[in-house]
Amino acid sequence: MTIIDAGKMHFRQLNDKIRGMNEDVTICGCMGQRYLGCGLKDKILTIHGTPGNAMGAYLDGGSIIVHGNAQDAVGDTMNDGAIIIHGNVGDAPGYGMRGGKIYVRGNSGYRTGIHMKQHKDKKPVIIVGGSAGSFLGEYLAGGILIVLGIGVDRDSVGNFCGTGMHGGKILIRNHLELPNLPEQVVKTVATDEEKGEIADFLREYCSIFSLDFESLIKDQYLLLRPDSQNPYKKLYTYY
């Protein structure tokens, strides 16, 4: 394993060092450097500090572990692999994500999972341990979004959840009322069978962050899914 002290290193120089290594890499003292781990395939990148925007964009099988917070556009268009964040994450994590997993111990900003999609055996998953901002799952086309609301003493999801959603599923623990839910989104209480579909992901999440899986899986989850293959139909003047 190679250890790099990022300090005030320019992000291009830091990324060149990461790409040039044939082994796992640990970065210490990260101070907002952007694009870390972009396209990473076969390494584990561990980051101490705060990485900048677009960390893990186009991730293609590698793993990124952040001991701290992360900024916007984490996992943009990622194809495979895992991103684990032990703090909070900014806006639009998982933008256009089409495979792999993003696990966030804390909160996420606006537009979590926007344009997330699913194809054949690739089913992307995002789990947020705390709260998620407005427009969660905007234009969601596939995959699974889970918000656990751990330690949140207010609504764990912001306004306009599922806007333009036409695929995938959103599960929200212990939260049965949502403001401004779009007309094309149907909400039900998840059955035991439906919760079983997320059990393996949630178990892995709990193992990583030292949480009690049994207490979380037995709680009630609100399940959101689209009721139409054409979620924009009601916006048209004529149909």
Spatial distance between the Cα atoms of 72 and 34, rounded to a whole number of angstroms = 10
Which run of H or of E encompasses 20? helix 11-20
Helices vs. strands in the chain: H and E counts, helices first: 4, 11
Q: Are 123 and 80 in contact (CB under 8 A)?
A: no
Q: Which DSSP letter does residue 67 get?
A: E
Find the range with the poorest average confidence among 68-77, 170-179, 206-215.
170-179
Residue 13: pLDDT band (50, 70, 90) is: very high
How far is residue 163's CA from residue 135's CA, in Å, rounded to a whole number? Answer: 6
Higher pLDDT, 215 or 230: 215
Q: Is residue 230 scored above 80 in pLDDT?
A: no
The token pair at 211 is 């949480």
Would you give the DSSP letter of residue 106? S
Reduced DSSP (H G I as helix, E B as strand, rest coil) percent helix, strand, coil of the chain, to 5:
15, 30, 55
CATH fold for the domain made of 88-235: Pectate Lyase C-like (2.160.20)
Per residue in 140-150, pLDDT tens? 999 999 999 99
Residue spans of the domains in the chain: they are: 88-235
In three-state secondary structure terms, 200 is helix
Q: How confident is the model at residue 155, as a pLDDT?
A: 83
What are the pLDDT digits (tens) for 18-51?
998 889 999 999 999 999 999 999 899 999 999 9
CA distance 207 to 189: 25
DSSP letter (8 states) at residue 89: B
- CA 191 from chain centre, in angstroms, equals 23
Q: Which residue has better confidence, 32 or 119?
A: 32
Residue 215 burial (CB count, 10 A): 9
Interacting residues of 173 by C-beta distance below 8 A, sequence separation 6+: 146, 147, 148, 149, 156, 216, 219, 220, 221, 222
Reported residue count of the chain is 239
The pLDDT of residue 121 is 86
pLDDT for 237 equals 52
pLDDT, position 1:
82
pLDDT of the residue at 169: 96
